[in-house]
Each structure stands twice: as C-alpha cells, then as structure tokens.
Amino acid sequence: MALIVQKYGGTSVGSVERIQTVAQRIQKTVQQGNTVVVVVSAMGKTTDTLVSLAQEITANPSRREMDMLLSTGEQVTIALMTMALQEIGQAAISLTGAQVGIVTEAEYSRARILSIKPDRIKRHLDKAEVVVVAGFQGISSRENLEITTLGRGGSDTSAVALAAALKASFCEIYTDVPGILTTDPRIVPEARLMDEITCDEMLELASLGAKVLHPRAVEIARNYGVRLVVRSSWSDAPGTSVISPIPKPRSLEGLEIAKAVDAVEFDGEQAKIALLRVPDRPGIAARLFGEIAHQQVDVDLIIQSIHEGNSNDIAFTVINNVLTKAEAVAEAIAPALRTTPSNVTEAEVMVETGVAKISIAGAGMIGRPGIAATMFKTLAEANINIEMISTSEVKVSCVVAKEDGDRAIKVLCEAFDVELSPNPVASQAVEVSPPVRGVALDQKQAQIAIRHVKDKPGMAASIFGVLAENNISVDTIIQSQRCRILDGMPTRDIAFTVCEGDAKAACQVLSSLSDGFDEVIVDEDIAKVSIVGAGMVGQPGVAAKFFGALATENINIKMIATSEIKISCVVPKEQGVKALKAVHQAFELAGIEKVEVSA
C-alpha cells in the first residue's frame, strides 16, 4: 500500500462538476489500496478575483491582509471537496495549512516553509480518512499564529513539502495539461509532452516562466528525493516524471531555508576569448558561434552584456586545449564584422589564458536576495577581482584569474559552509538528456544596466549587497568583458534583470550608492528567451542553433547569459513570442499531436 499526495490545481477544481469528478478519482485511488492526502488550490480564477477585489479598495493593500484574503480561496475548496468525497461514501476531512502544522516564516505573501508536523494528518490517515489540505497557506511561528501564503502558484510547494514530511511514495500534481511540455502551450500549441525531465532542468524551466510547476516545489523534490509526477486531471495518461538522483538524507527542520548553496564548483582549465566592438545587429552571435560549432569546438560560458553605441562585446570561455582552434575562428571572422575592412579598431579579438571559472550552485538561491552578493563580497574580501559574471536561476559563475583559484575555493567553501563539488556538471557526461529539453519565455522582467563600474574588487559586492538589503531579488546577472579606461581607471558594465515590479525600487536603491559607477539605465521593454537541457554539456553547436534561429527572424540579442545547462537571451519585448516560436521550431521540439489544454 502506497501513501500518495495528490495536488489538484485551480482549473481541476474549477466547478462543482470538476470537484465531483476529482472526488471520484481520489476514491478510486483509495479503492486501489492507497492512502491519500489531497492538496487543493482555490477554484478556477478565485485567487485572481480576490486580488482584483482588494485592488478596488486600495492600490496598496497591506501584505498581511492580502494573505488573510487570498488564503480563503483554498479554504472553500477543501470544504467542498471533502463534502463531495463524503457524499460518495468516502471518509474524509478537510484541514487548513495551520491545522496540519505547515509552519512558515512570518513573511507575508512569500513565506517559506520551516517545518511540517505531520502527526495530525497521520492520525486521520490511520482512521482510513482522506485528508484534504488547503494548499498555498501556512501559519507563522507558534506564538502569534499569523496566516501566511507561499506566493502565487504555491500549492505545488505545499504538496511536495507534505510528501517530503510524510515520506510519501510519490506526489502527483494534477493540472489542465497532460504534463510538462517543451514550452508553454498557450503560446506554442505544437508543444510536445515530455515523458521525463530531470529536477535540475525543471528548476531552470520553472524559474524561467514555465508556470506548470512552482520552482520551490521542484527544489524540495530534489532535496528530499520526492518522486514527482505531473499529470492531467482529465485523463489516466501517465504524464511527466520529474526525476532526480537520490539525495543525501536531510533534516525536515528548516525545510525550505536550510541551505541556499549546495556546492562550490571549480574549473581551472579555461581560457577566455572576447570579440570586442562587434556591430549591434541581428545575426552577429549566430555567425560567430555558427563558425565555432562548425569547427566542433564546445564553448562553456557565453556572455554578452548591453551594447554601447552601436557596438557590442561578446565573450566566451572554452577549455584550454581547444583554445587555438577557437581563437583561429574568432580571428578569421573578426574582419568580416568590421564596417570598413581597414578599421582595425573595430571587432578586435582578445584572448586570455590562465582564467578559472568558479561557481556556487544551489536551488535555494531562487528568490532569495543576497546569495550572489555574499559570493561577490567573499571574493572581494579575499582581494580577488571578478572578470566576468554569468548567472542562471540556480548558479552564479564568476571568471577569475587562475592564480586566485585556490583561494577563491577556500573562502567560498567557508562562507557557504559547503564542500568543493568533486563532480561539477560541466564534467558529467549526461547521456539521457537531449541537448535541449524545453524552452521558456519570461515577459515579466526589466533589465537594469550599470555603466562604467570601477573594475576593482568589491564593486559587485556593494551593488548586489545593497539590493539584497532592500529585499530586491535579482535574476540574471551579467558582467561583460568590455573594459573602458576612464580617468586612468578601468571600468566595466554590470547588467542584471529583475522582476518588472521591482525595477523602480532597484534604481532608487542604486542611486543611494553615489560612488563607483556612472549611470543606471533601465529597459522595461525586454523579454527573456531560454533553452534548457542537461544534454547540452559538451555538445558543440547548441548556442549557434539558438542564435541562428533568432537571426533568421531578424531578432537582435540584447544580452546573453549561460550556465552549463541553460542559455538565455534578452530580446526586445515585442519580439519575445516570435523568438520563442522560432527557437522551439529550430530544436524540432514540436509534437505530432496538438496538446489538448482543458478549459
């Protein structure tokens, strides 16, 4: 007999009929000999409706009252679902987040789970009752018992956390699509269903805008080894398995806050190649990386920050032993990128050997301001200069001088209380995963560029430190290769993306830092398109195909940032959908059958 946690999303419980159908599915699962805990969302668009109601009263509702309001949505569903179960003769009881002991931080609207006390659930399960739990909500520490919510989409997180606490055999997420698809089917109806996806891939996709799973749910599944399946509540099809290696056992105390960083990763055998002052127009990255792929050279990090005037710098790293080949390609292509063939000040190639890439990795850094800042500060205190930065949702990578490598490893391992990973992703042969598993579009971000930041240790630390102090969560961070000497001082640009709503606050916060850079430029007119796949490690040509697809559509790339298993491009907002479609098609991700999206 298995203990199963089943979670039903808003559409799946959107009407009385749907609730009755779901009740039957739950009863069937029990009749097959299983013990079932059910987690439900608010019915249909209830949460959105509650948000609009609040907005009719005030543009600035208090976060405490918002949680008080929004948590009611799920409470309606638990009662109705339990009645529906009882009506068909299935013993059941509804319980709120507080009643099942989902204890969270006292942080309204985005609380993380600290612990779950499953005793009460177990008592009911022992009496052969189905326990129907309100998703998305919790209660702050025992004394003041404040109602909190976990953030929009948080019912997935409630379900997986309960599965971890109850040591459930598996957790099923029932939703309105047949499982996890290669991209959002509302934008690309040809999206294909995946049989499986790794937790690492799903974490990147979920944080990049694939709404089907809350990223924090994936993080818990990975940390606690919860077997996770995403399925349609309209059919019996198997759906998508979200797989992960069996993790080291860990305590359930501090469930979501235990460790933001899992490991430090290091690659000391890298070289950096930069093409300086290439034209800022569609097709340039495609041409460069197309040639490089043609020579079967695998590139690791790729970084392109904001343009200056009408030119851009693109930098990438390769492993040392392919440097000569990569450099030859870059040298050969540079003249073709000059506006006038004789103008050698344009499109210059710069090579630097003896660099190292050092990264911190961990799903716990998602939505938690300050992790990147701590890394930058730690390096600064050890007087290590950061040459380039590229971040993904679950990783921050810095290029530093190789001679600083050992010290960088030591100080970062101490700062985050972790060990150096013996087996970083870059050196793992991932055979099971295709080079690109899925693509995602995030249209809710703004790009902020800080021009001419003094190139000395500590600058990135102070910039991201002050943002973190103000609780602003920074997404992709890019520090480019471009170096300008101003008043005898080398400077570089640092750019990052934040959630649209945080852009204004971020600028205000940055203006309080008077020294160290020239200006802050905000661009709200952006979208981020990303490809994710564990199989792209060691596969030449993936980036080239991505950039090529954008070039064919005449889409200019504003920024590029990569991790081992992800490449993201910032493009103009109005071209985001076109970009997503082109990239999905370029990687031949479309399915034969059109995916049915239930309404």
Question: What residues make contact with ligand ADP under the rule CB under 6 A?
Answer: 9-12, 41, 153, 175-177, 180-181, 183-186, 210-212, 438, 597
- Residue 42's binding partner, choosing from Mg ion, ligand ASP, ligand ADP, none, with beta-carbon cut-off 5 to 8 A by kind? ligand ASP
Helix/strand/coil for 195: coil
DSSP symbols for 6-52: EEE-TGGGSSHHHHHHHHHHHHHHHHTT-EEEEEE--STTHHHHHHH
- What are the phi and psi torsion angles at 497 (to 5°)? -115, 150
Residue 48 or 500: the one with the smaller Cβ distance to ligand ADP is 48
Q: Is residue 209 within the footprint of Mg ion (CB under 5 A)?
A: no
Q: Shortest distance, CB of residue 469 to Mg ion, whole angstroms? A: 31
- Residue 183's binding partner, choosing from Mg ion, ligand ASP, ligand ADP, none, with beta-carbon cut-off 5 to 8 A by kind? ligand ADP
Q: Which two tokens stand for residue 321?
A: 């032993």
How far apart are alpha carbons 264 and 373 in whole angstroms? 15
Residue 212 or 531: the one with the smaller Cβ distance to ligand ADP is 212
Helix/strand/coil for 332: helix
Q: Which residues of 120-129 are buried (b: 16+ CB within 10 A; e: fewer)?
A: ebeebbeeeb
DSSP symbols for 502-565: GHHHHHHHHHT--SS-SEEEEE-SEEEEEEE-GGGTT-TTHHHHHHHHHHHTTPPP-EEEEETT
Q: Which residue's structure tokens are 């504003």?
A: 558
Q: Shortest distance, CB of residue 469 to ligand ADP, whole angstroms? A: 32
Pairing mode, strands 170-175 and 228-232 = parallel
Whether the Cβ atoms of residue 42 and residue 10 lie closer than 8 Å to each other: yes
Q: Which two tokens stand for residue 376?
A: 């930058």
Q: Shortest distance, CB of residue 296 to ligand ADP, whole angstroms? A: 31
Residue nearest to ligand ADP (CB): 9
Q: Shortest distance, CB of residue 435 to ligand ADP, whole angstroms? A: 17
How far apart are alpha carbons 293 and 162 in whole angstroms? 46
Q: List the one residue out of 115, 116, 64, 66 whose CA is nearest residue 95.
A: 116
Q: Shortest distance, CB of residue 156 to Mg ion, whole angstroms? A: 6
Q: Shortest distance, CB of residue 80 to ligand ADP, whole angstroms? A: 16
- Residue 465's binding partner, choosing from Mg ion, ligand ADP, ligand ASP, none, with beta-carbon cut-off 5 to 8 A by kind? none
- Residue 152's binding partner, choosing from ligand ASP, ligand ADP, Mg ion, none, with beta-carbon cut-off 5 to 8 A by kind? ligand ASP
- Residue 266's binding partner, choosing from ligand ASP, ligand ADP, Mg ion, none, with beta-carbon cut-off 5 to 8 A by kind? none
Residue 110 or 492: the one with the smaller Cβ distance to ligand ASP is 110
Residue 22 or 506: the one with the smaller Cβ distance to Mg ion is 22
Residue 65 or 414: the one with the smaller Cβ distance to ligand ASP is 65
Restricting to residues 1-20, name those near Mg ion by CB under 5 A: 9
Per CB under 6 A, residues contacting ligand ASP are 9-10, 41-42, 47, 73, 135-136, 152-155
Distances in Å between the Cα of 178 and the Cα atoms of 194, 232, 318, 562 are: 9, 4, 39, 30
Q: Shortest distance, CB of residue 468 to ligand ADP, whole angstroms? A: 28
Residue 160 or 292: the one with the smaller Cβ distance to ligand ASP is 160
Q: List the one residue out of 13, 81, 22, 80 whose CA is nearest residue 46.
A: 13
Q: List the one residue out of 276, 270, 383, 371 whose CA is nearest residue 322.
A: 270
- Residue 139's binding partner, choosing from ligand ADP, Mg ion, ligand ASP, none, with beta-carbon cut-off 5 to 8 A by kind? none
- Residue 376's binding partner, choosing from ligand ADP, ligand ASP, Mg ion, none, with beta-carbon cut-off 5 to 8 A by kind? none
- Residue 564's binding partner, choosing from ligand ASP, Mg ion, ligand ADP, none, with beta-carbon cut-off 5 to 8 A by kind? none
- Residue 438's binding partner, choosing from ligand ADP, ligand ASP, Mg ion, none, with beta-carbon cut-off 5 to 8 A by kind? ligand ADP
Restricting to residues 143-172, name those near Mg ion by CB under 5 A: 153
Residue 4 or 460: the one with the smaller Cβ distance to ligand ADP is 4
- Residue 47's binding partner, choosing from ligand ASP, ligand ADP, Mg ion, none, with beta-carbon cut-off 5 to 8 A by kind? ligand ASP
Residue 9 or 458: the one with the smaller Cβ distance to Mg ion is 9
Residue 153 or 282: the one with the smaller Cβ distance to ligand ADP is 153
- Other Cβ atoms less than 10 A from the Cβ of 171: the count is 28
Residue 10 or 282: the one with the smaller Cβ distance to ligand ASP is 10
Q: Shortest distance, CB of residue 421 to Mg ion, whole angstroms? A: 32
Residue 42 or 560: the one with the smaller Cβ distance to Mg ion is 42
**Phi-psi category of residue 393: left, alpha or beta, with phi > 0 → left and psi -120 to 50 → alpha:** alpha
How far apart are alpha carbons 567 and 582 in whole angstroms? 15
Q: Shortest distance, CB of residue 194 to ligand ADP, whole angstroms? A: 8
Q: Which two tokens stand for residue 406?
A: 């050992």
Q: List the one residue out of 269, 271, 266, 248 whose CA is nearest residue 411.
A: 266
Q: Shortest distance, CB of residue 375 to ligand ASP, whole angstroms? A: 31
Q: Shortest distance, CB of residue 306 to ligand ADP, whole angstroms? A: 28
- Residue 176's binding partner, choosing from Mg ion, ligand ADP, ligand ASP, none, with beta-carbon cut-off 5 to 8 A by kind? ligand ADP
Those residues with Cβ within 8 angstroms of residue 580's Cβ, 6 or more apart along the chain or in another chain: 183, 184, 187, 188, 439, 440, 441, 529
Per-residue contact string for residues 492-521; x = within reach of Mg ion by CB under 5 A: ------------------------------
Residues 511-516: contacts with CB under 8 Å, at least 24 apart? 512/466, 513/462, 513/463, 513/466, 516/453, 516/454, 516/459, 516/462, 516/463
- Residue 73's binding partner, choosing from ligand ADP, Mg ion, ligand ASP, none, with beta-carbon cut-off 5 to 8 A by kind? ligand ASP
- Residue 177's binding partner, choosing from ligand ADP, Mg ion, ligand ASP, none, with beta-carbon cut-off 5 to 8 A by kind? ligand ADP
Residue 213 or 299: the one with the smaller Cβ distance to ligand ADP is 213
Q: List the one residue out of 42, 107, 119, 52 whose CA is nearest residue 78.
A: 42
Which amino acid makes up residue 578? Answer: K
CA 502 to chain centroid:
17
Give the residues lining the site for Mg ion (CB under 5 A). 9, 153
